[in-house]
Structure 1
């Protein structure tokens, strides 16, 4: 019997990417899964386009697959946030279906996903929950490979995949979380894929762009921490799980393409993201890191801070540099207090 997997996708003003992702999911070879799409109060016709896609009225184009009209129409189960949060019994849906949760505001990454996780825990009680970014395209066998790795050991709580850059699939996006200089980073990020990561290995965790979580682990760790605005939620969960004795494995044969960075690498956003990334990293390092991790991270942010404040990384705008300097000083204080 194949374990049941709930696949959760968050959409916010990105229906084109979302439909490409959905179509790739409805072509996978894994037999026991369902998809829950959470719309974070989009204003770009996302709901209308999702309905049209389910009805087979619009097609998707992708360099990674050929559109399959034969798997339409999809039965669409629409819920608002209140309905999703109500206590309801387990429900049965046809194989070709999509559950759409319509939030009444943009709740961000963590809370948006948590709404769907709580919903599916009540209605489906899945063995695994897969978080998947809407800007990904999956390969047909990816979920089979991830579940096989997850089932190999009862203490495996997290499984990651080989994430490749969708714009240049020769470039690696992530092959799992590892610790470097006291904080969590994506293993292999930016390197050319030459097969050097084509083997299963234990890692620190997985990027939530595509991460498989075992239900027993989530019962112990809790869900995504909503105190993170964006970035860091997955790293926090990975480290927390590791400290509680759970393992994370990398499934090298599970390949997913990721369009990372199309919104957060614009020049106007980089300064804000640099500050936010520092705040979030300090948060999970002080929560879960050892004294050695914290010392290494102190050295790292001192070195990087010099580059940032001299304008090598961040804009020379004095407001940006001032905000980063204040964040850096707050980071030092928080880390020292955590020893």
Structure 2
């Protein structure tokens, strides 16, 4: 029986150094049937040239997680622009002549469309041209274990109602350690606009080594059955980045698909490498804005009202203390307030127009 085809989509935006380390780890995996699609989101740092130099074998990747493999270079790069990708213009016959670890598709977006929009370009291309059974969304600032995809597919294939699966995610480096957990799945606490995150900052001692059905898989690594995209749609590009994977998981679960955490699959994540760290104005503004967008889009009236009450009676003052007194960052708290205003504005527009139609 042939292994299901998996199209791996890696989004790059001004982060070629992270991307080539991620690629080098991907090209070492044991899974036999995959595509690598790098989507460049309008980078301005010569990422396209550097990724091609890596593929030619001209840049050696150093990592604490693996040894560089010169034996699968050069990797044939099939470079296409955003317009051709959207129209499905691609020489698949030539592409299929190369081994899975000797080929790469490189899609060049004109602009930065965020996590949601950038990945959607790659997803649309994969579904229309390559016809995969699954699409794997993988952050460029990750390193993967050799067996991670085999384990993810094994669990996904065990139940046709499983729509999205994800791995155990470690911090790439947590005070010098590589065994500190960042994510083992999450359940949503809808009335707070929050999630109950499992395994967060635990040292891994096997305590999260059970397969679990959950509400959410993190977008840094999620394997999605192709039927999910066809039935519930792609990422909602209004989110730009953050909460878009929560929204996708929520929609998939409402359609009856299971969301499953797979502990045997492992990756390491340089958390918030693209956005500039875990606490910064850009990230905080989008997180709160998008939590409101999610609430207006997906929650019923009563849950939405509970969320808004919690936001204004509790969260507003809680984060005042955290951002002003603990982090001593007025800019971050102002970004938090701006995010609330932006979320209320976009949420009201969406509820009145799109989501009630």
TM-score, normalised relative to structure 1: 0.90
Q: CA RMSD in A?
A: 2.5
CA shift digits 1:267-286 (9 cap, x unpaired): 9x623322321110122133
Q: Aligned match of 2:236 in 222, 225, 228?
A: 225
Between the aligned partners of 2:47 and 2:342, the Cα distance in structure 1 is 40
Residue 52 (structure 1) shift: 1.2
C-alpha distance in structure 1 between counterparts of 2:215 and 2:23, whole Å = 28
Give the deviation of 1:101 after TM superposition. Answer: 0.5
Contact 1:177 1:186 in 2 (8 A): yes
Deviation at 1:316, TM superposition (A): 5.1
Partner SS for 2:238: coil
1:243·1:288 contact (CA, 8 Å) conserved in 2?
Answer: no
Q: Give distance in 1, aligned partners of 2:24 and 2:90.
A: 29
Q: Kindly indicate whether residue 205 of structure 2 is the aligned counterpart of residue 194 of structure 1.
A: yes
1:247-299 per-position Cα deviation (integer Å, ceiling 9, x unaligned): 111111000000012343559x6233223211101221332235675466345
Distance 1:18 1:330, change over 3 A: closer
> Could you say if the C-alpha distance between residues 324 and 26 of structure 1 is closer, same or farther in structure 2, counting changes exceeding 3 Å?
closer
Q: Give the distance between the partners of 1:248 and 1:189, measured in 2 at CA.
A: 19
More helix by share: 2
Q: Give the C-alpha shift of residue 122 in structure 1.
A: 1.3
Unaligned ranges ≥5, structure 2: 353-357
- Structure 1 residue aligned with 2:184: 175
Tell me the matched-pair count. Answer: 335
Change (3 A) 1:293 1:90: farther
C-alpha deviations, 1:155-199, integer Å up to 9, x for none? 111001101000132221111231134533542222222211101
Structure 1: 5+ residue stretches without partners: none
Q: Give the SS at the match of 1:112.
A: helix
Report the 3-state secondary structure (helix = DSSP H, G, I; strand = E; otherwise coil) of the residue aligned with 1:262: coil
For the Cα contact (< 8 Å) 2:181–2:199, is it kept in 1?
yes
Q: Does 2:113 correspond to 1:104?
A: no
Per the TM alignment, residue 221 of structure 1 is displaced from its structure 2 partner at its CA by 0.9
Question: Counterparts in 2 of 1:171-320, with a 5 A limit?
Answer: 171-180=180-189, 181-264=192-275, 266=277, 270-289=280-299, 293-294=303-304, 297-298=307-308, 300-301=310-311, 302-310=313-321, 311-312=324-325, 315=328, 317=330
